[in-house]
Chain A
Amino acid sequence: MIAHSKLSSGAHIGTNTTVRHIMWQVMLAISPATAVGLFCFGWPALNLFIVTLLSAVLFEAFCLRLAGRIARPVIMDGSALLSGWLVAMTLPPWAPWWIGVAGSGIAIILGKQVYGGLGQNLFNPAMLARIALLISFPIEMTTWPNVSPVFSAHAPGLIESLSITFYGLGSMASADAMTGATTLGYIKTEFSQQHWLPDILADHSIFLDFLGWTRGSLGETSSLLLAAGGIWLIRQGVIKWHIPVSLLLTVTVLSGIFHMMDGQHYVSPLVHLSSGALMCAAFFIATDYVTSPNTPAGQLVFGAGCGLLIFVIRTWGNYPEGAGFAVLLMNAATPLIDHYIRPRIYGRYRNGKPLAQKITAQERKQ
């Protein structure tokens, strides 16, 4: 590595932006949606959130110590905390503590550190963790509590919530009454009963889905707040618009076409957009620098690919939630996209050959 003390060439000045700054801005952007989740699902969600974040940082410190590195400055960059946060966002809010710990462990150890740490991983750590958990622990990962805001009548109290977090929902007598399916999951099961869309969604409020007043992952219910946070990140220059826009546009256009062709079988774009996981993926997961392409054109392709896969998996796949799988598949394609889609170099054609001289006869002096 080239030491800064020996720097003789520019730039001698720089922006104030640091890696830590970026990580904290992302965390700030997801905090409103997280707050809604924590409010809607109460103390058990908060327990899980804290356990996941804490274990993520501890796993990171552990790995760094194993590698013989000083952990403190790396921990301070906030990337482990953010990974833990994103993992927590995608978990069912009342999942037991060990789901959170396992999720953080998969994200930090298998998703990041085995590749060599920050910036080296191929797959998005949080999505890797979510998908691994979903496949390994399908019951725990698909038990969705009803919305029961803190201090409301049905909300579990402090003691009860500790029991949920540390002994599991099974310890509760009224467990079944407290849970149900997410909107997308519900539609999928109803389809299998030969019920069609207008009946299924008859008394469903898309509006509440948008707000976040619905069953779903801890931080992924409020699509409005997720989108607001994402737009703020774009305005701050932390992420670029290319991935979110192409992803959302692809999902909207595809679902719109199919919905218009057959409204009985295909949900409207609004149902897709109101599912928070889509917004979370579009603004916070697919935009992960490390695992997405470097060029604007590559990012457009990447976003469209994610959107296409999300729509396909949600519509015809076995899992109602397509976002995680879609992002992971496109992560795998990122090196390929970066290899083929490169910016045009000044003075060269796209193929790298120098431009032909273009000076017209008219311009030539006599």
Chain B
Amino acid sequence: MLNLSALFKAPRIRGGVHAEEHKASTSAQPIVVDFPLPKKLYIPLQQHVGKASEPVVRVGDHVLKGQLLAHSQGMISAPVHASSSGVIVDINDYPAPHPSALPIRTVVLETDGEDKWISAPPVDDPFQLAPEEVSLRVGAAGIVGLGGAAFPSAVKLNLGRENRIHTLLINGGECEPYLTCDDRLMQERAEGIIDGIRLMLYGMETGQAIVGIEDNKPEAYTAMRKASLPYPFIKVEQVPTRYPMGWDRQLIRYLTGREVPAGGRSADVGVIMHNVGTAYAVHRAIRFNLPLISRIVTVSGGAVASPMNIEVPIGTLISELFAFCGVNQTATRRIIMGGPMMGDALPHSRLPIVKASSGILALTQEEIRNKAQQPCIRCAQCVSACPAGLLPLDMANRIRNNQLDAAVDIGLKDCISCGSCSYVCPSNIPLVQYFKYASGELAARQQAQHKSEHTRRLMDERNARMDRIKKQQQEEEQARLAAKAERERLQTEQGTLA
């Protein structure tokens, strides 16, 4: 019988764009694993959302590959491990891979070339471990979301166990143009990913998993499908190629028909999502006791002579990757970490690869949008492109007129900065930049308000204290005067008596 309810619940895709892909140059070649070990590794102590890790090594220490460098701090954090063996030569502030290149506490490791692992016995049968042991070990291995968000994975797994999760979604969407690191990973290491998924399901005590892969990656789909065959509770499904399909909420809606409430978490609709790279890292961490010390990075863009996917140690400088892939420095107009839609432009290449670096792009003048900005013609392309159902043109207009609260009223806080609106704008208005500016400004205002409230409270308290002291002094004075009067009275009395 025709299932009408399923028909009405049919998930659909809202908004999004189909950007030119630029994936062919890297998706057909195997992952390069023999990247020469750099002389020095710059390992930042904050490579995740949350609190920075606290170093446990000192300058001069010799460390082995996989040895703990810094332990996590607080609820949301992840430890950092040595990406190779060698000597710690510095623990200091170095530029972070961020548009501002602001300094961040970094461990500098001079490699000794031996690349010697710390002894870590593999686990015979991880399914004999207690389920909560999985997230403990994932946490200890320093695994964070490798899709780019860098949220500590163990925290998510715990969340998954505590909340009632019915589905683990695995994001193999990789919707960003140019990036193919997940594609290659799925093609080459599908068994590992599937094993990681099984381990996560075991750790979360959850029944089923769905892997979503965009239909522009048929090889990855086939490989994953094949690897998943023995496990009927792991479904591998194709999803349409439409950016931002990798946005967790878009994928959740497409694959489960559920919509995460605004301000809520995916766990609210019974879903937790992890990236395929994260699943693979979980497999390595639980099966082989290996921490997250390397990742696959797509190096691509018009200025790259040989674009490729490389497995590199965390802390490798981007400049070394560029030298390896033959990047034309003069042709490079913009260096981007991540994809071209949501990635950040970096000021230079002497910045390290971190756990969240899915791609490093060296784009030429022709590739980046460099046309002059023109007035908005209200074509509403941005409205059609917005996957969140917002009105980018209207929000930008309000922000331009400094009506930030009015912009919030029509959904500024629901913007995910996916860049679809900027991508389609024929007037080249940097819409996302407006929204980021406004969000930053609002946060600053809120902070300033908190501060002024705090100051006022301190002032009030001080005034109250002063009043109290004054009153006390007055009372003391009165008491003193009264005592004096009393004394004098007694003296006169005594005098009269005498």
Interface residues of A (CB under 8 A from B): 1-2, 4, 7-15, 17-19, 21-22, 73, 77, 79, 117-120, 240, 289-290, 294-296, 338, 342-348, 354-359, 363-365
Contact A354 B375 (CB under 8 A): no
Could you list 10 further interchain pairs (A-B, Cβ under 8 angstroms) beyond the known A343-B386, A346-B249?
A: A10-B418, A11-B419, A12-B336, A13-B20, A13-B369, A14-B371, A22-B426, A357-B261, A359-B268, A363-B270
The DSSP consensus for interface residues of chain A is loop
Contact B268 A346 (CB under 8 A): no
Interface membership of B410, Cβ < 8 A: yes
Q: Given A294-B380, A345-B390, A347-B414 in contact, is the A9-B270 Cβ separation under 8 Å? A: no
- Expressed in whole angstroms, the minimum distance between the Cβ of B254 and any Cβ of chain A is 12
Contact A4 B264 (CB under 8 A): no
Identify which of B14, B372, B383 gathers the most chain A CB atoms within 10 Å of its CB. B383
Interface membership of B420, Cβ < 8 A: yes
Contact A355 B340 (CB under 8 A): no
The closest CB in chain B to the CB of A343 belongs to B389
The closest CB in chain A to the CB of B422 belongs to A11
**Chain B interfacial residues counted at CB < 8 A:** 77
Give chain A residues whose Cβ lies under 8 Å from the Cβ of B434.
2
CA distance A346 to B430 in the complex (A): 22
Neighbour of B425 across the interface among A14, A119, A356, A358, CB < 8 A: A14
- Expressed in whole angstroms, the minimum distance between the Cβ of B380 and any Cβ of chain A is 4
Interface membership of B374, Cβ < 8 A: yes
Give chain A residues whose Cβ lies under 8 Å from the Cβ of B376.
119
Neighbour of B411 across the interface among A14, A22, A345, CB < 8 A: A345
Contact B423 A14 (CB under 8 A): yes
Contact B166 A1 (CB under 8 A): no
Identify which of A13, A73, A289 gathers the most chain B CB atoms within 10 Å of its CB. A13
Stretch from B226-234, B341-349, B447-455, B484-492 at the A interface: B341-349
Contact A13 B423 (CB under 8 A): yes
Neighbour of A13 across the interface among B249, B340, B373, B426, CB < 8 A: B340
Contact A294 B433 (CB under 8 A): no
CA distance A344 to B261 in the complex (A): 12
Give chain A residues whose Cβ lies under 8 Å from the Cβ of B387.
346
Give chain B residues whose Cβ lies under 8 Å from the Cβ of A15.
423-424, 426
Contact A119 B345 (CB under 8 A): no
Q: Given A343-B391, A346-B262 in contact, is the A365-B164 Cβ separation under 8 Å? A: yes
Contact B374 A19 (CB under 8 A): yes
Contact B344 A8 (CB under 8 A): yes
Contact A294 B436 (CB under 8 A): no
What string of 1s and 0s marks CB contacts (under 8 Å) between B140-165 and chain A? 00000000000000000000000011
Q: Given A346-B249, A359-B268 in contact, is the A10-B432 Cβ separation under 8 Å? A: yes
Q: Given A2-B430, A289-B380 in contact, is the A13-B270 Cβ separation under 8 Å? A: no
CA distance A348 to B411 in the complex (A): 10
Interface membership of B377, Cβ < 8 A: yes
CA distance A108 to B258 in the complex (A): 49
Contact B379 A117 (CB under 8 A): no
Give chain A residues whose Cβ lies under 8 Å from the Cβ of B260.
346-347, 355
Give chain B residues whose Cβ lies under 8 Å from the Cβ of A13.
19-20, 177, 340-341, 363, 367-369, 423
Interface membership of B288, Cβ < 8 A: no
Interface membership of B35, Cβ < 8 A: no
- Expressed in whole angstroms, the minimum distance between the Cβ of A4 and any Cβ of chain B is 6
Give chain B residues whose Cβ lies under 8 Å from the Cβ of A21.
426
- Expressed in whole angstroms, the minimum distance between the Cβ of B409 and any Cβ of chain A is 8
Subset of 6 A-B contacts with CB under 8 Å? A9-B417, A9-B432, A13-B367, A14-B371, A79-B377, A289-B378
5 closest Cβ contacts across the A-B interface? A11-B419, A8-B99, A10-B419, A347-B262, A14-B369
The closest CB in chain A to the CB of B424 belongs to A15
Q: How many pairs of A and B residues are in contact by the CB < 8 Å rule?
A: 189
Interface membership of B428, Cβ < 8 A: yes
CA distance A346 to B386 in the complex (A): 10
The DSSP consensus for interface residues of chain B is loop
Interface membership of B170, Cβ < 8 A: no
Interface membership of B121, Cβ < 8 A: no
Q: Given A10-B340, A73-B372, A365-B205 in contact, is the A348-B262 Cβ separation under 8 Å? A: yes
Contact A14 B391 (CB under 8 A): no
Contact A289 B420 (CB under 8 A): no
Identify which of A120, A294, A295, A364 gathers the most chain B CB atoms within 10 Å of its CB. A294
CA distance A120 to B379 in the complex (A): 12
CA distance A41 to B422 in the complex (A): 45
Contact A354 B262 (CB under 8 A): yes
Contact A294 B388 (CB under 8 A): no
Interface membership of B206, Cβ < 8 A: yes
CA distance A2 to B338 in the complex (A): 22
Interface membership of B269, Cβ < 8 A: yes
The closest CB in chain A to the CB of B339 belongs to A10
The closest CB in chain B to the CB of A237 belongs to B381
Contact B378 A4 (CB under 8 A): no
Contact A19 B377 (CB under 8 A): yes
- Expressed in whole angstroms, the minimum distance between the Cβ of A290 and any Cβ of chain B is 5
- Expressed in whole angstroms, the minimum distance between the Cβ of A233 and any Cβ of chain B is 12
Q: Given A14-B369, A356-B261 in contact, is the A347-B437 Cβ separation under 8 Å? A: no
Residues 246-266 of B at the A interface (beta carbon under 8 Å): 249, 258-264
Give chain B residues whose Cβ lies under 8 Å from the Cβ of A344.
389
Give chain B residues whose Cβ lies under 8 Å from the Cβ of A354.
261-264
Give chain B residues whose Cβ lies under 8 Å from the Cβ of A119.
375-378
- Expressed in whole angstroms, the minimum distance between the Cβ of A108 and any Cβ of chain B is 15
Give chain B residues whose Cβ lies under 8 Å from the Cβ of A338.
394
Q: Given A11-B340, A14-B369, A343-B390 in contact, is the A348-B206 Cβ separation under 8 Å? A: no
Neighbour of A12 across the interface among B340, B373, B388, CB < 8 A: B340
Give chain B residues whose Cβ lies under 8 Å from the Cβ of A22.
377, 379, 426
Interface membership of B334, Cβ < 8 A: yes
Q: Given A10-B422, A357-B261 in contact, is the A294-B99 Cβ separation under 8 Å? A: no
- Expressed in whole angstroms, the minimum distance between the Cβ of A226 and any Cβ of chain B is 21
Identify which of A7, A11, A344 gathers the most chain B CB atoms within 10 Å of its CB. A11
CA distance A18 to B410 in the complex (A): 27
Q: Given A77-B374, A354-B263, A365-B165 in contact, is the A11-B420 Cβ separation under 8 Å? A: yes
Give chain A residues whose Cβ lies under 8 Å from the Cβ of B380.
289, 294-295
- Expressed in whole angstroms, the minimum distance between the Cβ of B12 and any Cβ of chain A is 12
Interface membership of B370, Cβ < 8 A: yes
CA distance A344 to B391 in the complex (A): 10
- Expressed in whole angstroms, the minimum distance between the Cβ of A350 and any Cβ of chain B is 10
Give chain A residues whose Cβ lies under 8 Å from the Cβ of B422.
10-11, 14
Give chain A residues whose Cβ lies under 8 Å from the Cβ of B372.
73
Give chain A residues whose Cβ lies under 8 Å from the Cβ of B262.
345-348, 354-355
Contact B426 A10 (CB under 8 A): no
CA distance A73 to B423 in the complex (A): 22
Give chain A residues whose Cβ lies under 8 Å from the Cβ of B345.
7-9, 12
- Expressed in whole angstroms, the minimum distance between the Cβ of B398 and any Cβ of chain A is 13
Interface membership of B393, Cβ < 8 A: yes
Contact A12 B363 (CB under 8 A): yes
Give chain B residues whose Cβ lies under 8 Å from the Cβ of A355.
259-262, 264
